[in-house]
Amino acid sequence: ENDIGSLLLNPASIAEISDFKLSVTNQKLLDSFDYMTINAGKNIDLAINKKKKKKHQSIGIGFSLASISLKDIPETEEKDGFPYQTSSYSAGFNVAQAVVGTSLYNTPIMEKLNIGAAAKIISYDIHSNSSSTFSLDAGVIGSNKIDNNIVNKIQIGIALHNIISPS
């Protein structure tokens, strides 16, 4: 079962979420750097009618919120060849994303292939300037069982971030 906390890293990690999952991370470093993430996801079972047969496909859906900020950045001016702090400012960015993914079995490449996609809204702020944009991510996690005394499964993942992102 995949880790819900990995949604921002690889959207394919939503594919194997079984029940509702929630992950909250908050870290403050040196009273200046704040890092926070919230990830949540749930699995939905879809019934698909295909050639008079009902096929069930499990779809994972989720969302993530992330915020990273750095405060008290010194703003300086030069006077008599020396820098002097005149004030301070903050900078950071926020991310909100929606994620969807599913698992494919017995593919030509791997025994199991988790695929996922994410749509993100990203906002940046530095001092009194701000900007926002959107982006699309995609990810894959493949796994094969191995008949070995040391390793019983190998997993390989890849994620492509900001596939579509206007400048």
Greater confidence, 82 or 108?
Answer: 82
Mean local confidence (pLDDT), 4-12: 90
Mean local confidence (pLDDT), 46-65: 85
Mean local confidence (pLDDT), 102-106: 89
Q: What angle do CA 87, 89, 94 make, to 5 degrees?
A: 175
d(CA 108, CA 133): 37
Sheet holding 21-29, edge to edge: 21-29, 33-50, 53-79, 82-105, 112-126, 129-145, 153-164
d(CA 167, CA 161): 14
Answer whether residue 108 shows pLDDT above 90. no
Could you list the beta-strand ranges (E) of 7-81.
21-29, 33-50, 53-79
d(CA 137, CA 163): 6
Average predicted confidence (pLDDT) for the chain: 89
Q: What is the pLDDT of residue 138?
A: 96
Mean local confidence (pLDDT), 138-151: 89
pLDDT tier, 167 (very low <50, low <70, confident <90, very high otherwise) = low
The answer to whether 62 touches 39, Cβ cutoff 8 Å, is yes
pLDDT tier, 159 (very low <50, low <70, confident <90, very high otherwise) = very high
